[in-house]
Amino acid sequence: MFKNAFLCAIVGVSVTAIAIAQRPQVGNAVRPFVKVDAPVVALTHVRVIDGTGAPARADQTVVIRDGNIAAIGPNVAIPEGATIIDATGKSLIPGLVMLHEHTYYPSGPNVYGQLGQSFTRLYLAGGVTTMRTGGNVNGVMDLTLARRAAAWEIASPAIDATAPYLNGPNSFLQMHSLEDADDARRQVAYWAEMGATSFKAYMQITRAALGAAIEEAHTRGIKVTGHLCSVTYAEAAALGIDNLEHGFAASTDFVAAKQPDTCPGQGQGQQSIVALDPDSAAFQQLVKTLVDRKIALTSTLTVFETFTPGRPMPPGVEVLVPQLRDQFTQTFERTSKNQTSAYARLFPKMMQLERAFARAGGLLVAGTDPTGSGGVVPGYSNQRQIELLVEAGFSPLEAISIGTLNGAKYLDRDARIGSIGVGKQADLVLVNGDPSTTISDVRKVDTVFRQGIGFDPAGLIKSVTGRVGLW
């Protein structure tokens, strides 16, 4: 009797899990970008790269039913009436889960243009099916986009919407300056009530304000990340932070004579990282602290690549409005000629330290950060981030896992997304080629499935090309 009851409970849980994500009702504004919308879809002769790091499985059939993965295997029976897609020569990977994305783009000194409509389409076209905005400088736009994406009113990934930045005194025109710890609590409470599902601390925040924000967010079941400077990684870890952005590039733990609650400047922090010995006791202790406290680290190699001389032109710049495209092209040319740039040494060191963190058991997640001086274009940059992880020393399978399953684990959604398995939500990317051996094949996106609905990446990109920068 106990065994039967246990089995019934397991079946009930499975049915409940599958029922969580049904095939959605697509809104009129989304319909023009949809290429596959059927109750049952069968992808045949496809290579499955499941996101767990396991070897690719060739010549598989994957059946999608009502927004979920119903079957996977080499000899799966195709249900009667299914829409059949011959995926010979193609690979299926999980939808990308990216954790440092923005719906804004640099349009002037310390000013950002709000590009929620075009950016969400580009993210989706690039294979991103779930994203966290890494702080916003608008207020309600990210929250509204998240709600509209959930309701299928816009073509977009699912969005974990981060509130406006939590920062101390600063020069940004679009960023609030916290007065004290009480103000930090008020901001967290207000934006949580408004619908924010994530918070991000920024460079000038104090330890008191950060601690208060973390405590208030955690009482609401919400996580906090940070692009820090005034607060060290070790101090933030002691305060209970959940995630740290930009790998170790934002760490000021190794700056000599660092003053409490004071940002010594990005330059000093980065110089200390360039000089850091990965085998030193100090670095090893910091890594152990982060791993022991289960603090995730976000790799954003894409934005740092745009600062580094000798790197290739970033992909996707052609979709920008001419003014922004020309603005970045000029910046890129200046960067290419800068033979004294500190980033020439910082960039490879970042890769080395991120690899050391992951090898020590840390949860490395991925993002892109469309800020800096431009050139980090959504969708294109997400694919580039996966390529850069391979350049950093991860295998293609490991890089794909970092960009999919690891992000889902951080969001506590890995039971539903981030990997390919029976019963999971059908958030999938069909690509031409084999990214398990040739990572650049992640750029060859054929179809992006979000909750079983297949999107046309070419149509999404075409709809915004030459206008990214306007809306």
Interval 53-65: pLDDT, tens: 999 999 999 999 9
Same domain, 73 and 114: no
Q: DSSP assignment, residue 454? A: E
Q: Is the pLDDT of residue 108 over 80?
A: no
The average confidence (pLDDT) of the chain is 94
User: Is 470 inside a domain boundary?
Assistant: no
Share of the chain above pLDDT 70, in %: 96
Number of helices and strands in the chain (H, E): 15, 19
Same domain, 392 and 296: yes
User: Is 64 inside a domain boundary?
Assistant: yes
| Contacts of residue 127, Cβ cutoff 8 Å, sequence gap at least 6 | 93, 95, 96, 379, 382, 383, 429, 431, 442, 445, 448, 457
Report the predicted TM-score, pTM, of the whole model to 2 decimal places: 0.95
Tell how strand 40-48 and strand 83-86 pair up.
Answer: parallel
Q: Is the pLDDT of residue 120 over 80?
A: yes
Return the pLDDT at 20: 52
Q: Residue 368's closest CA among 127, 50, 107?
A: 127
Return the pLDDT at 16: 39
Label residue 4 by pLDDT band (50, 70, 90): very low
User: Is 121 inside a domain boundary?
Assistant: yes
Tokens read off for 294? 């289960």
Strands (E), 23-139: 34-36, 40-48, 57-65, 68-73, 83-86, 90-94, 96-101, 104-108, 111-114, 128-133
184 within 8 A of 210, measured Cβ to Cβ: yes
| Average of per-residue pLDDT across 237-257 | 98
Same domain, 103 and 81: no
Q: Residue 380's closest CA among 119, 141, 142, 146?
A: 119
User: Is 18 inside a domain boundary?
Assistant: no
Interval 409-455: pLDDT, tens: 999 999 999 999 999 999 999 999 999 999 999 999 999 999 999 99
**Distance from the Cα of residue 169 to its chain's centroid:** 28
CA separation for the pair 279, 267 (Å, rounded): 23
Share of the chain above pLDDT 90, in %: 92
| Average of per-residue pLDDT across 155-166 | 98
User: Is 210 inside a domain boundary?
Assistant: yes
Q: DSSP assignment, residue 31? A: G
Interval 357-392: pLDDT, tens: 999 999 999 999 999 999 999 999 999 999 999 999
Q: Residue 266's closest CA among 236, 239, 230?
A: 230
196 within 8 A of 161, measured Cβ to Cβ: yes
163: CATH: 3.20.20.140
Same domain, 297 and 252: yes
The amino acid present at 360, given as its one-letter code, is A
Same domain, 69 and 187: no
Return the pLDDT at 266: 85
DSSP output for 79-106: PTTPEEEE-TTEEEEEPEEEEEE-SEEE
Comparing 21-25, 56-60, 276-280, the range with the smallest average pLDDT is 21-25
Same domain, 302 and 399: yes
DSSP output for 318-345: GGB-HHHHHHHHHHHHHHHH-TT-THHH
- Per the listing, tokens 């499985």 go with 57
Tokens read off for 403? 């960009």
| Average of per-residue pLDDT across 291-297 | 98
Same domain, 107 and 88: no
User: Is 11 inside a domain boundary?
Assistant: no
Interval 206-217: pLDDT, tens: 999 999 999 999
- Domain residues for 245? 96-410
Same domain, 262 and 309: yes
Phi, psi torsion values for 44, nearest 5 degrees: -105, 155
Same domain, 203 and 333: yes
Q: How far is CA 355 from CA 226, 344, 402, in A?
A: 20, 18, 11
Same domain, 61 and 146: no
Q: How many domains does the chain have?
A: 2
More confident residue, 108 or 305: 305
Q: Is the pLDDT of residue 21 over 80?
A: no
Q: DSSP assignment, residue 409? A: H
Tell how strand 128-133 and strand 96-101 pair up.
Answer: parallel
Same domain, 135 and 234: yes
The amino acid present at 117, given as its one-letter code, is Q
Label residue 109 by pLDDT band (50, 70, 90): confident
Label residue 1 by pLDDT band (50, 70, 90): very low
Strand order across the 243-244 sheet: 199-201, 224-226, 243-244, 296-299, 364-366
64: CATH: 2.30.40.10
Of 368, 384, 410, which residue is a domain's last?
Answer: 410
CA separation for the pair 25, 453 (Å, rounded): 10
User: Is 394 inside a domain boundary?
Assistant: yes
Q: Is the pLDDT of residue 9 over 90?
A: no
CA separation for the pair 337, 48 (Å, rounded): 43
299 within 8 A of 385, measured Cβ to Cβ: yes
Same domain, 79 and 106: no
**Cα angle for residues 118, 144, 181 (degrees, 5° grid):** 115
52 within 8 A of 41, measured Cβ to Cβ: no
Q: Is the pLDDT of residue 81 over 80?
A: yes
User: Is 102 inside a domain boundary?
Assistant: yes
Q: Is the pLDDT of residue 2 over 90?
A: no
Return the pLDDT at 23: 79
| Average of per-residue pLDDT across 232-258 | 98
